[in-house]
Structure 1
Amino acid sequence: MTPTPSPASPTTSEADEQVLRPHAEQAFADELAALAAVDERPRPPRWHLSPWAVTTYLLGGTLDDGTVITPKYVGRRRLMEVAVASLATDRALLLLGVPGTAKTWVSEHLAAAISGDSTLLVQGTAGTPEESLRYGWNYARLLAEGPSRAALVPSPVMRAMESGSVARIEELTRIPADVQDALISLLSEKTMPVPELDTEAQARPGFNVIATANNRDKGVNDLSSALQRRFTTVVLPLPDSLEEEVEIVRSRVASLSSSLALPEDVAPLAEVARVVQVFRELRSGSTDDQRTALKSPSATLSTAEAISVVVNGATLSAHFGDGRVNAEDVAASLVGAVVKDPVADRVVWQEYLETVVRDRHEWADLYRACRDLG
């Protein structure tokens, strides 16, 4: 009896090419190439696209040749125009907003469209050292050869300066204040002294910095007035309407479902809209019709968290359900997203269930699913 052949496993080279999340310049390479081919507008030095094309890449549109550019950001066009225009000058850009307003997403796509490289990234934390913004040393070579350029380890910011690219700094206000100050002269003078080598790194045209900060971190490591003056601040708001937020969640869930090999139609639009409405009502402190005042939980309940709730529900449905997201699939993740404080938030959630969800007859399945969780 001839054994049944098992499914072919990917070769080593194929496996190496598969990544869970490609960088923006890789995932949207076709769109960037299509924009570059039709882009005849003036480009700042070393920019891969003109400011108009960068904005089109972010907001989406249809090119003259019929190529469809998918929107990466759903929101006010003027905000993106201000952000792109700032990067075309010598002023750095600070994207500010509550968690989940796409600050990191926008910064990545800006860097990809402008420089073709979104990987020159510094992740801000309470332990971020000054070397992450300036340079460090390969101590084995330093001890063996003494100070030399070969022993120097440039930071992503230094590499961006030398290549005329855009550097990204995530969670700037998480970085200690004394480390933040290393940016002041760098952003104003566009040079980075290297006194150990009696030299300096000078920025080439095209260099700039995009930083992000969470405005709920106010008081953690506030930016000095000197540093603030070197940034153009663009505040990314929460989506204006239910419909706008539903579209953001729907499109991101569809994209993530594809990368996770889930069915394309696993999350019905009605279920997405219901999760988003729950988040918006608890976040704003009132029902959608403004008739009932609500207490808000301690959780942020951002658009990003709504995306996670629906994706988790889609995964449950695909692997353990009938392949279509329903109330039982989203209930567990929904409760987990709302109830961060097991005492105070649980009171808020129970009150919302009994005063709002219970009275919506079309939400009876969601009410039962959440109640069954305890």
Structure 2
Amino acid sequence: MAKKKASPKSDHSSVLRRHAEDQFAEELAEIAKVDDRQRPPNWRLSPWAVVTYLLGEPLDNGFQVSPKYVGSRRLMEVAVATLATDRALLLLGVPGTAKTWVSEHLAAAISGDSTLLVQGTAGTAEEAIRYGWNYALLLAKGPTSEALVPSPVMTAMQRGQIARVEELTRMPSDVQDTLITVLSEKTVPIPELGDECPAEKGFNVIATANNRDKGVNELSSALKRRFNTVVLPPPKTAEEEIQIVEQRVASLGRALELPSEAAAIEEIRRVVTVFRELRDGATEDGKTKLKSPSGTLSTAEAISVVNSGVALAAHFGEGHLTATDVASGLTGAVVKDPVQDVIVWREYLETVVKERDGWKDLYRACREQL
């Protein structure tokens, strides 16, 4: 059966999730207009402009750049400065701390292309880092440059762009170690052709790793030395986390064309409060100690809970977000272990949610889910 021809890259009308360089093309173009600072070789923007794109702020011409990352400016400055050197960047953190999101936007702003991506899994092979072969051509003509299939990392080296490696610690150790030559020598040897692929100026690697995966396939000391590690923490304050959830839910709602009003800020605040209290093992005022469930209860999961609630409200509810709409998603996010987490969740509902002023509707809606 013939495959449906892919739409041209310039046509994004039916794309569910656009790449950062496409979704924020106008912002990147406006920043480039006012960016008169020094740019490293092959960079689309200066380091200052990249940080401006990530954190969002009004430009001198009045154009408002939207924030992509809510958090420490210094962390983003360190990350961008690292990529301007010969050191690779490792973004480390618990699940849901925007590692992949930051990685994509860094590549989009620096190279104009965030698609040179290697997804790390237990089955990732060396070819994903180095190169593979078109076996039909290999059998017909033997090892030739035409038969060689470059990996995303090799392509980034050839173009002088940023390559992204997701979930680095999920990859087998021997595959991880293929990065050592790439990062130290800035070349990929091709012994079958008696040749090599040297990196053009501008090439670098952004890797992400989940620090809860320590020990899965821990990085070797040699590989760790090739990276500068930036730890992305969870949002420091509830207001930061609420802002992140509100922005991402609004963006996802537009992409999914949900026929709903903007998510109610009060419901977002309650979801974020529940997540933060259960994560921290204590109520906001510190007066009540709580048991924490087995899940991570990350900001990304809070976004998912609210977004699911918005969809329920739009298609089956009153058109605006209520406690009933978020209750099922909230329960599903907390209860990962059907025995242990149910006990933790029930206790939290009875001792905190039930007694909190204005939360009776959320208490009743969540109790109905158990």
TM-score, scaled relative to structure 2:
0.97
Q: Which residue of 2 aligns with 1:7?
A: none
Q: Which residue of 2 aligns with 1:145?
A: 141
1:198 is aligned to 2:206: no
Question: Which of 62, 65, 78 is residue 66 of structure 1 equivalent to?
Answer: 62
Q: CA deviation at 1:261?
A: 1.1
Q: Which residue of 1 aligns with 2:333?
A: 337
Q: CA deviation at 1:14?
A: 10
Q: Which residue of 2 aligns with 1:42?
A: 38
Given that 1:94 and 1:211 are in contact with CA atoms closer than 8 Å, whether structure 2 keeps it comes out as yes
C-alpha separation in 2, matches of 1:204 and 1:157? 12
Q: Which residue of 1 aligns with 2:109?
A: 113
Q: 1:98 to 1:14 in 2, by over 3 A?
A: closer
Q: How many percent identity over aligned positions?
A: 69
1:173 is aligned to 2:169: yes
C-alpha separation in 2, matches of 1:368 and 1:12? 49
Q: Which residue of 2 aligns with 1:320?
A: 316
Question: Which of 274, 296, 299 is residue 278 of structure 1 equivalent to?
Answer: 274
C-alpha separation in 2, matches of 1:37 and 1:136? 40
Q: For residue 265 of structure 2, what is the amino acid of its counterpart? A: L
Q: CA deviation at 1:186?
A: 1.0
Q: CA deviation at 1:266?
A: 3.4
C-alpha separation in 2, matches of 1:19 and 1:181? 36
Q: 1:248 to 1:330 in 2, by over 3 A?
A: same
How many pairs were matched up?
364
Given that 2:245 and 2:299 are in contact with CA atoms closer than 8 Å, whether structure 1 keeps it comes out as yes
Q: For residue 22 of structure 1, what is the amino acid of its counterpart? A: R
Given that 1:258 and 1:264 are in contact with CA atoms closer than 8 Å, whether structure 2 keeps it comes out as no
C-alpha separation in 1, matches of 2:164 and 2:198? 18
Given that 2:260 and 2:320 are in contact with CA atoms closer than 8 Å, whether structure 1 keeps it comes out as no
Q: Which residue of 1 aligns with 2:3?
A: none
C-alpha separation in 1, matches of 2:257 and 2:317? 15
Q: What per-residue deviation string (whole Å, max 9, x for no partner) do you get for residues 188-241 of structure 1?
A: 000100000000000000000000000000000000111000000000000000
Question: Which of 156, 159, 166 is residue 155 of structure 2 equivalent to?
Answer: 159
Given that 1:191 and 1:201 are in contact with CA atoms closer than 8 Å, whether structure 2 keeps it comes out as yes
The CA RMSD measured in Å over matched residues stands at 1.4
Given that 2:260 and 2:313 are in contact with CA atoms closer than 8 Å, whether structure 1 keeps it comes out as no
Following superposition of structure 1 onto structure 2, how do residues 1-374 of structure 1 map, counting pairs within 5 Å?
17-263=13-259, 265-374=261-370
C-alpha separation in 2, matches of 1:93 and 1:264? 39
Q: CA deviation at 1:263?
A: 4.4
Given that 1:266 and 1:318 are in contact with CA atoms closer than 8 Å, whether structure 2 keeps it comes out as no
Partner of 2:358: helix, strand, or coil? helix
Partner of 1:361: helix, strand, or coil? coil
C-alpha separation in 2, matches of 1:15 and 1:25? 14
Q: What per-residue deviation string (whole Å, max 9, x for no partner) do you get for residues 311-364 of structure 1?
A: 000000000111110000000010000000000000000000011001013100
Q: CA deviation at 1:74?
A: 0.1
Given that 1:266 and 1:317 are in contact with CA atoms closer than 8 Å, whether structure 2 keeps it comes out as no
Q: CA deviation at 1:185?
A: 1.3
Q: 1:150 to 1:12 in 2, by over 3 A?
A: closer
Given that 1:279 and 1:306 are in contact with CA atoms closer than 8 Å, whether structure 2 keeps it comes out as yes
Given that 1:254 and 1:264 are in contact with CA atoms closer than 8 Å, whether structure 2 keeps it comes out as no
Q: CA deviation at 1:262?
A: 2.0
Q: For residue 44 of structure 1, what is the amino acid of its counterpart? A: P
Q: For residue 157 of structure 1, what is the amino acid of its counterpart? A: V
Q: CA deviation at 1:260?
A: 1.2
C-alpha separation in 1, matches of 2:140 and 2:44? 41
Q: 1:12 to 1:201 in 2, by over 3 A?
A: closer
C-alpha separation in 2, matches of 1:65 and 1:346? 54
C-alpha separation in 1, matches of 2:114 and 2:262? 31
C-alpha separation in 2, matches of 1:183 and 1:59? 30
Q: 1:15 to 1:64 in 2, by over 3 A?
A: closer
Partner of 2:188: helix, strand, or coil? strand
C-alpha separation in 2, matches of 1:373 and 1:101? 28
Instruction: Give ranges in structure 1 of 5+ residues lacking alignment.
Output: 1-10
Q: CA deviation at 1:265?
A: 3.1
C-alpha separation in 2, matches of 1:126 and 1:146? 30
